[in-house]
Amino acid sequence: MAAAAVDSGKRPSANGKAAATRSVSSSGMAAKSLPRLALVFLAALLYRQLQAPPPKVPGTPGGPPVTSSRIELRDGRRLAYHESGVPREQAKYKIVFMHGFDSCRYDALPVSPALAKELGIYLLSFDRPGYGESDPHPGRTERSIALDIEQLADALELGARFYVAGFSMGGEVMWSCLRYIPHRLSGVALLAPVGNFWWSGLPANVSRDAWDVQVPQDKWAVGVAHHAPWLTYWWNTQKMFPASSVIAFNPAIFSREDMAILPKFAYRPYAHQVRQQGEHESLHRDMMVSFGKWSWSPLELEDPFPNGEGKVHLWHGAEDLIVPVGLSRYISERLPWVRYHELPTAGHFFTLADGMPDAIVKSLLLGDD
């Protein structure tokens, strides 16, 4: 087009023939650039579909309100936390609890007030970045979350060492604590921890058997999060194929015992807070980190308590349909310092079963199995 304009500017006295040629050639160019334009337009449309909307940051205009106590991290992000049990200053045991997927600080292990009082337990839980009222952290990794826990513990002056416990994806975070802050830990409880099928050192048949426990739509959702993380937002929001069954709360993933426990899960008056920053910043990013490409494997970890000054407990239900038991079973066989508790009839949500929170905490703190 520009060339044609220059051309006509050079020869203002062009005759009819030349003008006709020009008009043919410029319409030819339009015909050529039309598909190209359409392509650019389609790419832009596609890009917009793949691109998640920006997170709604708590406490900013248009964002959700801040109702909880928060601490500020070294990089300026804030973490929202929730305390329960006995007051920090009176506590004999301090536990930092890490919630699972699609949950928040209020989804802490429901230790009974009686046991908390009897043993002197202080329980601290917090929203993972992007959940509830903690700032988003688009750069979050399997390492950054362990350092967040350490900074939170220091901000609240929990002391040189503290206990950590985590459920489901929060259980997976416990491996990160063992990798990055083992010197800060008094004891660890992994509860139905999510496993990453691509961790190095896992035999192919162990990964495959665990993989096959998942319903087909979760194989797809997890596969996308690992192989094409940039597609995660689109995959879990498009309507052509079923997205993650965990996000969609599909009943197919609840075991017999889970079905009985479910009513307890139904009463969560704070549920609206969980995804309030947007599903991408909370759920999708969780999947991208959890099933992403890790540079290390739990199988490489060493006993954090070689002198027996603490214990690492791993609990998993054999009938867990959300997080297959296979990886936990294999890892605990390979790491003799992991005290493995397999619950033969339990599903995923045994942490809410009657008496279980207290049993888990007693075993963590008192070491009587």
Ligand X SMILES: *[C@@H]1O[C@H](CO)[C@@H](O)[C@H](O)[C@H]1NC(C)=O
Nearest distance, CB of residue 207 and ligand X, angstroms = 9
Q: Site residues (CB under 6 A) for ligand X?
A: 203, 205-206, 209
Nearest distance, CB of residue 202 and ligand X, angstroms = 10
Nearest distance, CB of residue 197 and ligand X, angstroms = 13
Nearest distance, CB of residue 175 and ligand X, angstroms = 20
Nearest distance, CB of residue 254 and ligand X, angstroms = 24
For 142, the token pair is: 């399997």
For β-strands 69-72 and 312-317, DSSP reports them as unpaired
Q: How far apart, in whole angstroms, are the C-alpha atoms of residue 151 and residue 117? A: 26
Residue with smaller CB distance to ligand X, 275 or 329? 329
What are the b/e assignments for 145-160, b being 16+ CB within 10 Å?
Answer: bbbbbbbbbeebebee
Residue with smaller CB distance to ligand X, 62 or 203? 203
Q: Which of 273, 282, 277, 216 is closest to 247 using CA atoms?
A: 282
Q: How far apart, in whole angstroms, are the C-alpha atoms of residue 186 and residue 191? A: 17
For β-strands 69-72 and 162-167, DSSP reports them as unpaired
Q: How far apart, in whole angstroms, are the C-alpha atoms of residue 195 and residue 207? A: 9
Residue with smaller CB distance to ligand X, 165 or 327? 327
Residue with smaller CB distance to ligand X, 122 or 330? 330
Residue with smaller CB distance to ligand X, 202 or 274? 202
Residue with smaller CB distance to ligand X, 146 or 325? 325
Nearest distance, CB of residue 297 and ligand X, angstroms = 17
For β-strands 93-98 and 121-126, DSSP reports them as parallel
Which residue is nearest to ligand X, using beta carbons?
A: 205
